Amino acid sequence: MAPPLIQLKDIALTFGGTPLLSGVELTVFESERLCLIGRNGSGKSTLLRIAAGLAEPDSGSRFVQPGATVRYLPQEPDFDKFQTTLAYVEAGLGPGDDAYQARYLVEQLGLTGEENPAHLSGGESRRAALARVLAPSPDILLLDEPTNHLDLTTIEWLEGELGSRRCALVLISHDRRFLSNLSRSTAWLDRGHIRQIDRGFAKFEEWRDEVLAEEERDQHKLDRKIVAEEHWLRYGVSGRRKRNVKRLANLHELRRQRRDYRGTAGSATLAAAEADKSGKLVIEAKKIGKRYGERKIVDNFSIRIQRGDRIGIVGPNGVGKTTLINMLTGADAPDSGTIRLGANLEMATLDQHRESLDPKSTLAEALTGGRGDHVMVGGTPKHVVSYMKDFLFAQEQMRTPLEVLSGGERGRLMLARALAKPSNLLVLDEPTNDLDLETLDVLEDMLGDYEGTVILISHDRDFLDRVVTSVIVPEGDGRWIEYAGGYTDMLAQRGADLKREVSKSAPVPEAERPAKAAPTATPGKRRLTFNEKHALETLPKSIAKLQVEIAKQQQRLEDPNLYATDRAAFDKISLALTKAQEELQQAEDRWLELEMLREEIEGV
């Protein structure tokens, strides 16, 4: 086997109390595609900085294969001393690197190269930083949240660019689709330790759940063993003194193991404070339009949003997504057309711009507005510490200045502020930014249980597929079209990926995957939706499972004594059998219907 490009051995690092990293091992081989997974605050970014040689651990060793080139993408690039974005990108080139590649990537990422780095938006700074690390074509790319602040067009371009390269990749990201498409192995950083498997992110969550379930069983066994030993200590018959001393020492060791066990971090408890129901009609827009100078932002757009709808708005940065939301919610008047808001609307808004937070204020002040120690949640006072814990903040962080919070912690804070207000309409602008996978799961569950209406902007394709019921997409020249279903359903209906819009006032080159653009479907041709494809793949397994269950129930009913000895059990099994047979019939009918549809579409 070839030697590794990078190898970290027995890495340990402690900030204050609990060790952040403890005996961590990480090995990256040539052309490897590895995703680094872990909760916010688990030490992923710190470990990546150690791998890049930018941070020193308390102990352990770092090996980099001689001659191998390493490039590291930080979450917050440093643009000091650079007059233009092109100068910043070219400064990352090494001896012998092609300067043309730097300019090519700058243009591919939608920049001119003449931008002043001091005035870049979050998305522009991320694109410049990506161009800087990609231009030298390094042997190893260490990417910390590469998709943060990027629009969907650029994310899909980046996937194609990274997928076509032969270099090794180590990725930190909370974008499930991005990780699933690129990774082939996974390193899970959990409670200071790391586990590495030769499976990509698509298989990670199933494996993680198995590991945690096994760990929980082991802890349960340990607890029972401690109880048994403590019972012996109190009531056992005395025996040889040496044996008793040894057994007592074993009990102390078991207690130490239990004391040192670091349980998994809890999940956030996200719940929106809901107001009374709104009217059935929430928003009606008729032929609304908006333009800035000669540029059309929205042109002749109409939509009816009803109670319970989940609307996703997607598109390149700067295309007008926020402008469209502001018009739909009444925050900004259209230049033409009409907007009608439904009755009894109570709106709560999550703004993506976290700069509105005073960095010098404390966490408690941001939640209470600087008034006392209570947060008004749905009109009811709740102690700030209790509310903080719902969003995974520790009590000690109550007086923490906001400027020292991580990106994930700021994201949870913004959610905490938005969800405290009673609402029946949630307007969320990039709610998934910096949230870890577990918190994303809880946010998705909360939105699924929310009885009101949701309008959101997101560049997270997996999140959109899981949450929204329809997607609004820009089609160029101010036209917006609503598609039923999630993001994948929208692509199936459009027959192509999103393209970067070329505006009249600010031309932006298209950022497409090189030679990998999806073929355009014939207009009007029927295609299987994402849900139909998923059903075709999963229904055979469901049918087999139901058949096994039916066989078991039938076998139990064949017992001639069951009816006489346990009538309640007989009735229960009979009812379960009938239900399973009905479900089997429905599943088989649905599979047959979809299979016939697939054959018709594909002309089999």
- Amino acid code (one letter) for 241: R
Asked if the structure places residue 352 within a domain, the reply is no
Asked if the structure places residue 202 within a domain, the reply is yes
* pLDDT tens digit sequence for 9-29: 999 998 766 788 988 999 999
Same domain, 541 and 460: no
The last residue of a domain, from among 524, 547, 569: 524
Asked if the structure places residue 405 within a domain, the reply is no
Q: What average pLDDT is seen over the chain?
A: 82
* pLDDT tens digit sequence for 404-463: 777 777 778 888 887 888 889 999 888 887 777 877 888 888 888 888 999 999 999 999
The last residue of a domain, from among 206, 227, 249: 206
Q: Alpha helix locations (H) across 458-560? A: 461-467, 487-494, 530-557
Domain count, the chain: 4
Query: Are the beta carbons of 202 and 176 closer than 8 angstroms?
Result: no
Same domain, 234 and 320: no
pLDDT at position 503, please? 35
Q: Tell me the CATH number at 169.
A: 3.40.50.300
Same domain, 202 and 109: yes
Asked if the structure places residue 474 within a domain, the reply is yes
pTM of structure: 0.69
Report residue 528 as tokens.
């299987």
Separation of alpha carbons 250 and 248, rounded Å: 5
Query: Are the beta carbons of 263 and 305 closer than 8 angstroms?
Result: no
Other Cβ atoms less than 10 A from the Cβ of 264: the count is 13
Query: What SS3 string covers 404-471?
Result: HCCHHHHHHHHHHHHHCCCECEEEEECCCCCCCHHHHHHHHHHHHHCCCEEEEECCCHHHHHHHCCEE
- Amino acid code (one letter) for 358: D
Q: At what angle do helices 204-235 and 241-260 cross, to 10 degrees?
A: 150
Taking CA atoms, 326 is separated from 84, 205, 323, 454, 483, in Å, by 33, 37, 5, 14, 20
Separation of alpha carbons 171 and 48, rounded Å: 9
Report residue 341 as tokens.
């808001």
Query: Are the beta carbons of 270 and 419 closer than 8 angstroms?
Result: yes
Asked if the structure places residue 293 within a domain, the reply is yes
Tell me the average pLDDT across 312-337.
91
Structural domain boundaries, residue 598:
530-602
Same domain, 132 and 42: yes
Q: Which residue has the higher pLDDT, 356 or 588?
A: 588
Same domain, 82 and 171: yes
Same domain, 508 and 536: no
Distance of CA 539 to the CA centre of its chain: 27
Same domain, 21 and 129: yes
The last residue of a domain, from among 493, 524, 555: 524
Same domain, 230 and 291: no
| Cα angle for residues 11, 264, 44 (degrees, 5° grid) | 35
Same domain, 510 and 552: no
Same domain, 190 and 339: no
Same domain, 175 and 226: no
Asked if the structure places residue 408 within a domain, the reply is no
pLDDT at position 436, please? 77
Same domain, 162 and 100: yes
Separation of alpha carbons 486 and 312, rounded Å: 8
Asked if the structure places residue 395 within a domain, the reply is no
pLDDT at position 2, please? 75
Q: 6-14 and 59-64 as β-strands: parallel, antiparallel, unpaired?
A: antiparallel
* pLDDT tens digit sequence for 343-372: 888 888 886 555 567 778 888 888 888 777
Asked if the structure places residue 393 within a domain, the reply is no
